Amino acid sequence: MTYLRNCWYMAAWSDEVSNQPLARTLLDEPVVLYRDAEGEPHALFDRCPHRFAPLSAGRVENGILLCGYHGLGFGGDGACARNPHGPITKALRVTSYPVVEAHRAIWIWMGDAGRADPALIRDLSFVDDAPDTAFNKGYLNGTGNYQLFVDNILDLSHADYLHPDTLGGGAVTRTPAEIEERIDGIIAIAWRPKNEVPMPLMADRLPPGVDWVDSWTEVEWSAPGVMTLVNGAVPAGTPRSNGGNVFNLHILTPETSSTSHYFFASTRDYAMDDAKLNEATRKLREQIFSTEDEPMIAGQQKRIGDQDFWSLSPALLKIDKGAALVRRRMDALIQAEAK
């Protein structure tokens, strides 16, 4: 499969990477992530050039990643820093990938290293600003092409059917999406139902006696698979400023053509010190993603198999406009990069 390479992909949450090697396949390539003696993160191609053992099966010693098979050591730049069996030759080198730590995450650049500008990482400062009592996160190694997971967030009408008891209610299905292509590369998709029934999850947090609400669900996508989602609700006819917002983060990184790394997080601008609410939100999100979304997407992937999505001539509906726009944008970016 062809991937967009000259961009930043999320490789891990910051607290996943330590002085213990972490193996992770990204864009069909084996990568090992670790921190050196100063705590700086590094990413290397996870294959020793000697006998091709996984470097992730070794250990970090004095900031050097040692192969667990014959003890060769490699620095964060990929150069061999230790050969207990003789001289260090030019052949003893592995690929090193640029990495940046930002927004509680480790980002990796798997294209032309000379173009790896940290300023190109999407501004997700709301993640940095959230206190621990109002921030929760998760990770799912899911079956399904990463674009299937992206589709899932860009067409939220599925919530009315796949998540009827939590995120459903029918309002999104009854409300046409507003779609905007921005000059900064972001594609924004929003649903803003008026005088509608609240989704079950919101209903529990509204004042007693409120049966009708004005709500909002606003998604912003940027390549290759970074999405923010803001939602909230107020009693129908009242100002939006009277309500609170939940800020969600959904990031997809390809593992292989049929599996994905799904990173997600959530914070809010109310009840910031309510740790119990935060933990309940984390558990519910994890349950929804792992028992409802992921099995459905895995089922899609099984039916698609190795075939290209567009080659199957999907019968697109109005609800697919945003997701189809993003898929075509990604196709154009990949084709342009290939040229």
pLDDT digits (tens, 9 = 90+) for 76-132: 999 999 999 999 999 999 999 999 999 999 999 999 999 999 999 999 999 999 999
Rounded CA-CA distance 266/287 in Å is 14
In a domain, 113, yes or no: yes
Does 332 or 339 have the greater pLDDT score? 332
Range 176-186 average pLDDT? 96
pLDDT digits (tens, 9 = 90+) for 20-50: 999 999 999 999 999 999 999 999 999 999 9
Q: Which two tokens stand for residue 17?
A: 């990477």
156 and 269 assigned to the same domain: yes
165 and 86 assigned to the same domain: no
Range 127-142 average pLDDT? 97
Q: Tell me, what CATH number does 57's domain have?
A: 2.102.10.10
pLDDT at position 240 over 90: yes
In a domain, 280, yes or no: yes
Average pLDDT of the residues of the chain? 96
Residues whose CB is less than 8 angstroms from the CB of residue 272 and which lie 6 or more positions away in sequence, other chains included: 131, 133, 134
Please report which confidence band the pLDDT of residue 206 belongs to, taking 50, 70 and 90 as the band edges: confident
Rounded CA-CA distance 246/267 in Å is 6
Sheet of 22-26, strands arranged across? 22-26, 29-35, 41-45, 96-97
Residue span of the structural domain in which 299 resides: 130-338
* Share above pLDDT 70 across residues of the chain, in percent, rounded to a whole number: 100
Residue type, 275: A
Per-residue confidence (pLDDT) for residue 209, from 0 to 100: 84
Per-residue confidence (pLDDT) for residue 259, from 0 to 100: 98
185 and 317 assigned to the same domain: yes
What is the number of structural domains in the chain?
Answer: 2
- pTM passes above 0.85: yes
217 and 101 assigned to the same domain: no
pLDDT at position 317 over 80: yes
For the chain, how far is it from start to end, CA to CA, in angstroms?
16
148 and 103 assigned to the same domain: no
Please report which confidence band the pLDDT of residue 207 belongs to, taking 50, 70 and 90 as the band edges: confident
Please report which confidence band the pLDDT of residue 201 belongs to, taking 50, 70 and 90 as the band edges: confident
Please report which confidence band the pLDDT of residue 16 belongs to, taking 50, 70 and 90 as the band edges: very high
In a domain, 324, yes or no: yes
Which of the 8 DSSP states describes residue 205?
Answer: T
